[in-house]
Amino acid sequence: MKVYDDKHIKNIVLLGSVRSGKTTLAETMVYEAGLIKRRGSVEEKNTISDYHEIEHERGNSVYATSLHTEWRDYKINIIDTPGLDDFVGEIASSLRVADTCVMLVNAQYGVEVGTEVIWNYVEQFRKPTIFAVNQVDHAKAKFDEAVASLRERFGAAAVLMQYPLREGEGFDSIIDLLKMTMYKFPADGGKPEKLPIPAGEKEKAERLHNELVEKAAENDEALMELYFEKGSLDEDEMRKGLKIGMRNREVFPIFCMSAKRNMGSGRMMGFIDNVAPTAGEMLPEQTLDGGELACDPAGPPVLFVFKTLVEPYLGKITFFKVCSGEVSEGMDLVNYQSGDSERLNQLFIMDGKERNQVKKLVAGDIGATLKLKATATNHTLHGREARVGLAPIVFPEPRIRSAIVAREKKDDEKLSEALRDMQAEDQTLKAEFAPEVKQLILWGQGELHLQVAQWRLEKIYGIKTDFVEPKIPYRETIQKAASAMYRHKKQSGGSGQFAEVHLRIEPHVEGAPDPGDLPVRGKEEIDLPWGGKLVFYNCIVGGVIDGRYLPSILKGVMEKMQEGPITGSYVRDVRVMVFDGKMHAVDSNDISFKIAGAQAFKEAFRQADPLILEPIYEMEVMVPEELMGDVMSDLQARRSIIVGMESQGRYQVLKALTPLAEQYKYTTALKAITQGRASFKRRFKEYATVPYEVQKGLAAKCAE
């Protein structure tokens, strides 16, 4: 396979809502270049990028897939991404290594909620973007409305490069505003005929061409002067201005096409070749020590790992971008994170599941290798002469959770190992054993995300599992002071057990003074692993309890705090004062005082007006304006407090504080309410008091 230099490599990521045509466009781009003889289709389940069994079952992308095409002496690396935000981790990792985004927009719908959600990640990575209005040949296509929605959302930066002569089933011609030419396609698509712009379109085309010229000129002072001098710009000058504008994210070119009928993809590929920036023209990579790394083929070899995939019968495939220098087969590199040496035994260009072996890859290129020992997603590999660590991808936090159990007890260990492998592949999937609720919890981005994980466990790892409703990790605390004593006495021949502990407990409030009515002989402030604090005071006078027994009393209190008296949940924000007690010269020991301390704490806690706290999350729901009322009503029915709303294009973003207990299967409910047109994200906010009736019900349930 031909090795391209850094000036002839373009890295693009295909983005867009589900069914916007990303996979079809990727297939068409490879076919148009002549690299395959026959185009596959999503319906026939034979495309290059959607090759996994789960993708064939579902009929859409689940994984981000790398492939490439070649167009007029340029290599275009393509990453085809899923269109659902359940798989946003695949989108984030792809954006990290792409140099240009191609955002597909369905000509029937224009900017959809999926477009908005994905755009939030494009904004984070600050990547140049091309909009491709696809499916212009659909009977319900509305090209002008789709463009209007782009301009409404993205402003004057969204600029037309072409428009269709006719849309709908009669679509076969594109008027190109850069070249001022009409491209007329044969019925089955492919290479178009270049024709003059029809007389009836001349005025419109000239007006839009002048808008494009002005947009190109305003991105560079020299071009602006040239434009004022000549009154126009030639094609090369326009390309220069558009490239500057794209790089500065002040120009978002809009193309039109039918990827399915192979009409318009070649023209966009030519634009990517000539105008879209290379990796070397982008901003330098940020390093972990605050420095920068330029994409220089003459620099030290540095790779960034953006994706890990475990394939049956093949093992671990590591996908990387060469960020500096060049790498070749047999090269030894060092893992920045682990310090381990790794050998690149083989190098590949991946086209879906096909591996095309190459001898070397240069700065700016994307490739893969097999069976690295200690290298994972977000790791940096570098040469021995220069230690470099690159800034990692920040993946979104998971939004939903479910408890997962193996149907057969013998599969428990196998399940843990499988989940560990799956988390290595997917950084947005998290599994953890929650000791407080004694459940294995699987966190994900949405119901579909978890369903795919369950499918993989059964089909790939041979483990049948059930998802059950997870228990809520409540917290317990107190509202007033209370005192209690407990005497532990046990005699069974010989030396026995004896301890008596008197203590007082109070709510802990940050910054509160020490108790003034008790002598404070010692104080220990403990940050609890589950949040909140325990402040433990020694208020013993006269040696009624030997100081060596106080750690045992504290240990007893801590053990009881791990299983609160009301719901069995963790206790937080309490201060404990041990102020009296008794001991026996022979029968007292550590275990006796541990038991006495635990029981005294339990008794005092029950008298101190116990309070149950629940986890509250900040939620942001992006919803079409006309459906906002339904979504708001549903949130309020879930005990949410609406704290704000703001407009984002044609969508509203509702902000609410919602208890975790009310969020089970929320993604399913939201899709039902909005027909899949809304999305949400969330993050933990705080623990807050549950309403009285809810606490009463929880206490009764736990007492059963």
- C-beta of residue 658 within 8 angstroms of C-beta of residue 640: yes
Annotate 562-616 with DSSP letters as a single string. Answer: TS-TTTSPEE-SEEEEEEEEE--TTT--HHHHHHHHHHHHHHHHHHS-EEEEEEE
Q: What is the pLDDT of residues 36-54, one digit of tens each?
A: 999 999 999 999 999 999 9
User: In whole angstroms, what is the distance from residue 363 CA to residue 348 CA?
Assistant: 15
User: How buried is 543 (Cβ within 10 angstroms: 0-12 exposed, 13-18 middle, 19+ buried)?
Assistant: exposed
CA dihedral 187, 190, 193, 199 (to 10 degrees): 60
- pLDDT value for 461: 93
* Assigned token pair, 629: 């009322």
- Report the C-alpha gap between 219 and 233 in whole angstroms: 13
Task: Identify the H or E element spanning 58.
Answer: helix 53-58
Mean pLDDT, range 260-283, rounded to an integer: 95
CA 527 – CA 525 distance, rounded (Å): 7
In this prediction, residues 62-67 reach a mean pLDDT of: 96
Which 3 state secondary structure label does DSSP give 422?
A: helix
Chain centre distance of CA 373: 25
pLDDT attached to residue 668: 86
* pLDDT greater than 80 at residue 126: yes
Categorize the per-residue pLDDT at 161 as very low, low, confident or very high, splitting at 50, 70 and 90. Answer: very high
pLDDT digit string, tens, across residues 65-123: 999 999 999 999 999 999 988 999 999 999 999 999 999 999 999 998 888 889 988 98
Count of beta carbons in the 10 Å neighbourhood of residue 220 = 18
- Give the residue from 150, 124, 172 showing the smallest Cα distance to 16: 150
* 389-427 residue pLDDT tens: 999 999 988 888 999 999 999 999 999 999 999 999 999
* Identity of residue 302: V
- 275 touches 255 (CB < 8 A): no
pLDDT beyond 70 at 568: yes
Give me the mean pLDDT over the 437-453 stretch: 93
Q: How confident is the model over 216-271, as pLDDT tens digits?
A: 999 888 999 998 988 889 999 999 999 999 999 999 999 999 999 999 999 999 99
Cα distances (Å, whole numbers) of residue 444 to 93, 426, 617: 16, 10, 15
Sign of the torsion formed by the C-alpha atoms of 537, 539, 545 and 547? positive
Model pLDDT for residues 8-41, shown as the tens digit of each residue: 999 999 999 999 999 999 999 999 999 999 999 9
Distance (Å, rounded) from C-alpha 199 to C-alpha 565?
85
Residue 281: per-residue pLDDT: 93
Phi, psi (rounded to 5 degrees) for 397: -70, 150
Please report, rounded to a whole number, the percentage of residues in the chain having pLDDT higher than 90.
Answer: 83
Structural tokens at position 345:
């035994």
Q: Which of 693, 482, 653 is nearest to 117 (CA)?
A: 653
Is pLDDT at 491 greater than 90 in this prediction? no
pLDDT over 90 (residue 313): no
- pLDDT at residue number 667: 87
H/E run at residue 102: strand 100-106
360 strand-pairing partners: 328
Q: How confident is the model at residue 493 (pLDDT cuts 50, 70, 90)?
A: low
Taken as a whole, the chain contains a residue count of 704
- Looking at residue 56, what DSSP letter applies? H
| Residues 326-347, mean pLDDT to the nearest whole number | 96
pLDDT, residue 675, reads 80
Q: What is d(CA 84, CA 308) in angstroms, rounded to the nearest whole number?
A: 20
Output the pLDDT for position 689: 95
pLDDT score recorded for residue 459: 94
pTM: 0.86
Helices (H), 5-68: 22-32, 53-58
Question: Is 319:378 a contact under the CB 8 Å cutoff?
Answer: no
Give the rounded percent of residues in the chain with a pLDDT score beyond 70: 99
Quote the pLDDT of residue 564: 87
Domains of the chain in start order, with CATH, are: 7-197+242-281 (3.40.50.300), 291-382 (2.40.30.10), 403-471 (3.30.70.870), 480-608 (3.30.230.10), 613-703 (3.30.70.240)
Judge whether residue 635 has pLDDT over 80. yes
Are the C-beta atoms of residues 444 and 453 closer than 8 Å to each other? yes
* CA atoms within a 13 Å half-sphere pointing along the CA-CB vector of 581: 34
DSSP letters, 209-230, are HHHHHHHHHTT-HHHHHHHHHH
* Strand order from edge to edge, sheet including 366-370: 341-344, 331-335, 380-382, 302-311, 315-324, 366-370, 347-351, 354-358
Cβ proximity of 468 and 406 under 8 Å: no
Strand partners, 431: 442
Per-residue pLDDT of 178-198, as tens digits, reads: 999 999 999 989 999 999 999
Which DSSP symbol is given to 394? -
pLDDT greater than 70 at residue 163: yes
Residue 639, burial from CB neighbour count under 10 angstroms (0-12, 13-18, 19+): middle
Quote the CA–CA distance of 687 and 655 in Å, as a whole number: 18
Dist. CA 23–CA 44, nearest whole Å:
13
Mean pLDDT, range 299-320, rounded to an integer: 92
CA distance 550 to 14: 64
- Reply yes or no on whether the pLDDT at 701 is more than 90: no
Task: List all residues 6 or more positions away from 348 whose beta carbon is below 8 Å from its beta carbon.
Answer: 355, 356, 357, 358, 367, 368, 369, 370
Q: What was the pLDDT predicted at 494?
A: 67
Token pair in block for residue 183? 């491209």
